Structure 1
Amino acid sequence: MKKRIGLLLAVFIHALFFQTALAQDGKTALVPLPSVEDFTKGNDGWSFGLGLGVEYESAYEGSDEFGFEVDPAGAVQWRRGNDIFYWAGEALGWRGLRSNTWLFDAAIAFDEGREEGDSDDGRLDGLGDADEDIELVLQARRAFDVDWHYWLDGRIVTGDNGSLGIFGVGRRIGDQTDGTGSEFAIVVVYHDSDWANKDFGIDAEQSVASGLSETQLSGGFRSIGFNYNYRHYINENWQVFGEVLYERYSSDIEDSPIARNNYEAEVGVGFIYVF
């Protein structure tokens, strides 16, 4: 844990001294997408957002159990022109706008892994706890116009537990430039064999302990899905946000005994106070 904290602090310190010559171009938000948090209100320097979100979601990947979870929301951000460095929950990163139509994002994130206790019905008994992991997240979005009404997205997540690729196309509704409004995206997800078996594989030892059939998955197509994001300023400081996510798994994942459902779904809503 000390090594992880040290790594995150090193990246953050480096970010604070990173210099850029690009101008802000007078935009309130770095990009006007509700899915991209920006509490800077167009100003260079520090900004803070703090709040809570309530989610109704699957208990784990492939679960048929659903429940409510309350999580902190918001971020600490530092902006210089068209670059924002941020600490949001368990992720520390940088995002930058280039040529008004390219958004790049790089972050180091912590994945807590899956625990046997995530299933109240005992569906994970005998499978043990999945390993925690530090992941590198790289993302690029390309807008079709400077207003970001339509865009393409590509994201890679990689760590010791495998790699995941997400590719999508999105549509922003509204003409606001402060990052509010709504946004809809359709995505296709691929994973390698390590990531697939992290969530849905069962080795020989786990099979004996759980009574479930031994299962080994190969990499490839994982799922297709959609997500909807909404963000609105109630007044100068209070912001309400919402999200709906649906992911339909491939037939290979459906065949895993861990997958009690052939989909994952999530609905969330929350409030953030922007200082």
Structure 2
Amino acid sequence: MKKSTGLLLALALNGLAIPAVFAQEEQIELVPLPSIDDFTRGEDGWAFALGAGIEYEAAYEGSDEFGFEPDPAGGIQWRSGDNIFYFAGEAIGWRGLRDDVWLLEATIGFEEGREEGDSDDGYLDGLGDSDEGTELVLQARRAFDADWRYWLDGRVVTGENGNLGIFGVGTRFGAQQDGSGSELALVAVYHDSELANKDFGITAEQAVASGLAETNMSGGFRSVGVHYNYKKYINDNWRIYVEALYEHYSSDVQDSPIARSDYEAELGIGFIYVF
């Protein structure tokens, strides 16, 4: 996750006041959550969407440098009943709805590496580059009812560079069932020692090269976060989306010389055209 609290809260409050204006004709989404992309309009078979956005985010995990970055959006989906198989960017996966209240998902994708040049101020000099790695994401959401007004969420991310666990609770605003509107989730994030050291650890060799203190991280609680999503249908083809995240690091992470801030934040906005 990457990411200002005031801006995030303003977005959340605005999201509560802005109704979806895509008439009353509701599309049959797999689940009515703005965070879940469904381009199929409830029909079995292939669906295609193409879009782009821009994100304002931290340069790397723990950075106090922020900048704008283009973000491709859309993807290819194939639906069969309550199952959607998809390819989006560098990820391929499946999600399925079970008993109207369980949303299960499995995704194979890539984790971005970190380069010394990611810091324009030279804070990563001497730490070397970390490679991109393959990761598997397994997720389960359990709604309290078929309207998906409230839900619990659990996610495990395992890959070449370590493991991550995310546990949260969320709520959806608005009465529409077509996947538009807004939602807000609170999450707690845990990492193992391998991933913690990849993002925030400093080996003896890196300490000599960078001048930073050698740091050995242990696994455990990483952060607590807030995640906001908003989606609006402009017409039958065009969609606009907004995503905002705020992640507050644990004291152990804040003690790392790499974490120059006690939080990360991210704000993104974009458009998608559904064919």
Please report the TM-score for the alignment, with normalisation by the length of structure 1: 0.90
SS in 1 for 2:177: coil
Q: CA deviation at 1:89?
A: 1.1
Residues 1:57 and 2:57 aligned together: yes
SS in 2 for 1:208: helix
In structure 2, what residue type is equivalent to 1:234?
I
Counterpart residue number, 1:12: none
User: Residues 226-265 of structure 1 correspond to what in structure 2 (within 5 A)?
Assistant: 226-265=226-265
Q: Which has the higher contact order (CA 8 A, sep 6+)?
A: 2
Superimposed CA distance per residue, residues 130-158 of structure 1 (whole angstroms, 9 cap, x where no aligned partner): 12110000000000000000000000000
Aligned equivalents of 2:47, 2:206: Cα separation in 1:
47
Aligned equivalents of 2:103, 2:31: Cα separation in 1:
8
Aligned equivalents of 2:63, 2:42: Cα separation in 1:
41
Aligned equivalents of 1:47, 1:219: Cα separation in 2:
41
Q: Any conservation in 2 of the 1:49–1:76 contact (CA below 8 Å)?
A: yes
User: Residues 144-163 of structure 1 correspond to what in structure 2 (within 5 A)?
Assistant: 144-163=144-163
SS in 1 for 2:240: strand
Aligned equivalents of 2:198, 2:255: Cα separation in 1:
15
Residues 1:195 and 2:195 aligned together: yes
Aligned equivalents of 2:48, 2:180: Cα separation in 1:
17
Please report the TM-score for the alignment, with normalisation by the length of structure 2: 0.90
Q: Any conservation in 2 of the 1:107–1:138 contact (CA below 8 Å)?
A: yes
Residues 1:39 and 2:60 aligned together: no
SS in 2 for 1:131: coil
Counterpart residue number, 2:183: 183
Residues 1:105 and 2:109 aligned together: no
Aligned equivalents of 1:104, 1:180: Cα separation in 2:
20
Counterpart residue number, 2:14: none
Counterpart residue number, 2:23: none
Counterpart residue number, 2:139: 139
In structure 2, what residue type is equivalent to 1:186?
L
Identity score, percent: 72
Q: Any conservation in 2 of the 1:101–1:142 contact (CA below 8 Å)?
A: yes
Aligned equivalents of 1:196, 1:27: Cα separation in 2:
42
SS in 2 for 1:76: strand
Q: CA deviation at 1:246?
A: 0.1
Superimposed CA distance per residue, residues 56-76 of structure 1 (whole angstroms, 9 cap, x where no aligned partner): 010100000000001111111
Q: CA deviation at 1:112?
A: 2.3
Q: Any conservation in 2 of the 1:41–1:178 contact (CA below 8 Å)?
A: no
Q: CA deviation at 1:27?
A: 6.8
Q: Any conservation in 2 of the 1:143–1:150 contact (CA below 8 Å)?
A: yes
Superimposed CA distance per residue, residues 20-39 of structure 1 (whole angstroms, 9 cap, x where no aligned partner): xxxxxx97100000001101
Aligned equivalents of 2:188, 2:112: Cα separation in 1:
24
**What are the ranges of 5 or more consecutive residues in structure 1 without an aligned counterpart?**
1-25
Superimposed CA distance per residue, residues 101-120 of structure 1 (whole angstroms, 9 cap, x where no aligned partner): 00000010111211111111
Aligned equivalents of 2:97, 2:154: Cα separation in 1:
15
Counterpart residue number, 1:13: none
In structure 2, what residue type is equivalent to 1:233?
Y
Q: Any conservation in 2 of the 1:201–1:217 contact (CA below 8 Å)?
A: yes
Aligned equivalents of 1:258, 1:189: Cα separation in 2:
18
In structure 1, what residue type is equivalent to 2:178?
D
Counterpart residue number, 2:216: 216
In structure 2, what residue type is equivalent to 1:270?
G
RMSD: 1.0
**Could you say if the C-alpha distance between residues 212 and 71 of structure 1 is closer, same or farther in structure 2, counting changes exceeding 3 Å?**
same
In structure 2, what residue type is equivalent to 1:137?
V
Residues 1:267 and 2:267 aligned together: yes
Counterpart residue number, 2:168: 168
Aligned equivalents of 2:199, 2:48: Cα separation in 1:
34
Counterpart residue number, 1:7: none
